[in-house]
Amino acid sequence: MKYVFGPVPSRRLGQSLGIDPIPLKTCNWNCVYCQLGRTIPLTNQRRAYIPTADILLEARQALKSRTHRAIDWVTFVGSGEPTLHSELGWLIRQIKVLTDKPIAVITNGSLLHIPDVRRELLAADAVLPTIDAGTVELYRKINRPHSQATFTRLVAGLAAFRAEYRGKLWVEVMLVRGLNDTTKALEDIAKVLQKIKPDAVHISLPTRPPAETWVQPPDQAGLSRAVSILGNIAEVVHPAEGVFDLDGCQDVVDAIIGIITRHPMLQDELERTLERWSPGQVKEALKDLEASGKAQVVNRNGVNFWSAALSRYPANAQSQRTIPGSRQKQGKANQNKKSKVILEQINERSKLVEIIENDNS
C-alpha cells in the first residue's frame, strides 16, 4: 500500500492505523528534530496532492483485512503536514462511514488560522497539534517555518479552533536540550498554552533520528522543569513499545518501506518485526530491503535507524552549521582572528620603526 500503513505502536494512540494523504516531506515546517529529515523545499500550498479515491480504496482494504481488536485509532499522519491536503475533511468523513474506531489528526497546527481547515478537522475525535515555542524567535529556531506560517497565525489559529472544537485537543511539546527546556522558554510556552486551553499537554522527546545531528533530548532536570512549569495537564509521553503489524501484506519490503517513510525504525525494532512476520528469514528480508534502494540507514548518536531513501539527513559537518547562534559565533571568531592579525601587523611595524630609529641614532 502507498498511503495506508501499520498499525504501528503510537506513544499516544496505542495501535494506530496510519493514513498519509501527502507525499514525503510535503510540509511548511523544517523542524530541527524531525524524524523524517529536512524539508526541501518548504511549501504552504493546499491542494489534492494524492487522489482521494486512491487513499479511500486503500483505507477500506486495510480496515477490512484487519481484526477489530488490532486497531485502536485511525490516524491521519502525514510524512509532512496532512492539512496541506485540500480534501482532508472529506477523507475524515468517509473514514467515519467505514469504521467506528476513533479518528485522530496529527498536525503542526499552522493552518488552523484558515476557517476551512478548522471546519474540516471538527469531524475528528482527537486533534494533536504542536507548540514547541512561546516566542517568535524560538519558533523560528526550532520549527524553521515557511514565511507564511507565522507564529501569530499558529497561536491565533489554535485558539480559534479550541473555541469551536468539542473533541480531544492534545498539544505536543517536543523538548530540545538547550533550546526550549530552559525556565524562560517553558514559561513562554505555558503562557501560549493558557490561550489555547488544550485538554492535555504531551511532552515528547526526540528519540527517533532528528534531522540535525546536534539535537539532543533534555536531561532529567530539564524534563522535570517542563513537567513543573507546563501544569497539571502535562505529562511525559515516552516511546511506545508494541508491534509493527505486517499482517495482510503481500510484499514485506513494500510494507516496511510504507512504515519507515513515516516512522523510522530502530534496527532491533525492524528485526523483531521481521522475525514475527517471517521467522528465520530476517537476514534475507534485510538484504532485500537494502537491495531495494528504497531505504537508508541513518546514524544518530551511535544508534542506527532505518528510514526512507528519499529522506534528507545532513552529514554532521553540514548540520553543525545550523546550530542556533553558530553563525554569530563564527562571525565573532572571524572578527577576533582578523583583529589579532591587525594587532600583530601593528606590532611588527612598531618594532621596525624602533629598529630604524635606533640605527639613525
Q: What is the mean pLDDT of residues 67-78?
A: 88
Residue 244: predicted pLDDT: 80
Shared domain check, 337 and 220: no
Percent residues over pLDDT 70 in the chain: 89
CA distances 182 to 77, 200, 232, 331, Å, are 29, 21, 18, 26
Do 299 and 332 fall within a single domain?
Answer: no
Q: pLDDT value at position 278? A: 73
DSSP state letter for 111: T
| Same domain for 276 and 230 | yes
User: Torsion over CA of 160, 165, 168 and 173, rounded to 10 degrees?
Assistant: -10
Residue 330's domain spans which residues? 325-360
Q: In CATH, what number is assigned to the domain containing residue 121? A: 3.20.20.70
Q: Do 247 and 339 share a structural domain?
A: no
10 Å CB burial of residue 195 (0-12, 13-18, 19+) is exposed
Residue 301: what pLDDT? 86
Q: Are residues 310 and 179 in the same domain?
A: yes
In a domain, 45, yes or no: yes
Residues 292 and 340 reside in one and the same domain? no
- What does pTM read for this prediction? 0.87
Among the listed ranges 163-172, 190-199, 349-358, which one has the minimum average pLDDT value?
A: 349-358
CB 5 within 8 A of CB 262: yes
Q: Which long-range contacts (CB under 8 A, 24 or more apart) does 51-55 make?
A: 52/87, 52/90, 52/91, 52/94, 54/2, 54/3, 55/3, 55/4, 55/19, 55/21, 55/91
Q: How many domains does the chain have?
A: 2
Separation between Cα atoms, residue 348 and residue 328, nearest integer Å: 30
Taking CA atoms, 148 is separated from 144, 160, 221, 270, in Å, by: 11, 18, 35, 38
Which of 225, 163, 156, 157 minimizes the C-alpha distance to 190? 225
Whether residue 286 lies inside any domain: the answer is yes
pLDDT at 333 over 70: no
Q: CA–CA separation, 182 vs 219, rounded Å?
A: 11
Residues 308, 285: one domain? yes
What are the distances in angstroms from CA 356 to CA 108, 345, 348? 71, 17, 12
**Are residues 236 and 352 located together in one domain of the fold?**
no
By the 10 Å C-beta count (0-12 exposed, 13-18 middle, 19+ buried), 99 is classed as middle
Whole-number pLDDT of residue 66: 82
Mapped onto helix, strand or coil, the DSSP state of residue 337 is helix
Amino acid at residue number 334: N
Q: How many CA atoms lie within 13 A of 17 on its CB side?
A: 25
Q: Which residue has the higher pLDDT, 200 or 248?
A: 200
Q: Which amino acid is at 97?
A: V
pLDDT tens track for 87-112 = 999 999 999 999 999 999 999 999 99
Return the closest-CA partner of residue 173 out of 108, 78, 77: 108
Helix 282-291 vs helix 252-260: angle between axes, to the nearest 10 degrees? Answer: 70
Show Cβ contacts of residue 109 under 8 Å, excluding neighbours closer than 6 positions: 129, 130, 131, 154, 157, 158, 161
List the one residue out of 62, 286, 79 whose CA is nearest residue 277. Answer: 286
Is residue 35 situated within a structural domain? yes
294 & 346 share domain: no
Asked whether residue 150 is domain-assigned, the answer is yes
Assigned domain for 161 exists? yes
Q: Is residue 185 part of a domain?
A: yes
- The grid coordinates listed for 159 are 485558539
pLDDT digit string, tens, across residues 235-292: 999 877 776 877 667 788 888 999 999 999 998 888 888 887 777 788 888 888 989 9
**Residue 164: inside a domain:** yes
Asked if residue 353 and residue 258 are part of one domain, the reply reads no
pLDDT for 45-57, tens place per residue? 999 999 999 999 9
Q: Are residues 214 and 351 in the same domain?
A: no
Q: Let me know whether 184 and 329 are in one domain.
A: no
User: pLDDT, tens digit, for every residue of 296-306?
Assistant: 999 998 899 99
Q: Provide the H-helix boundaries in 174-325.
A: 183-196, 220-229, 252-260, 267-277, 282-291, 316-320
Please state whether beta strands 303-308 and 265-266 pair in parallel, antiparallel, or not at all (unpaired): antiparallel
pLDDT of residue 240: 74
Establish if 320 belongs to a structural domain: no
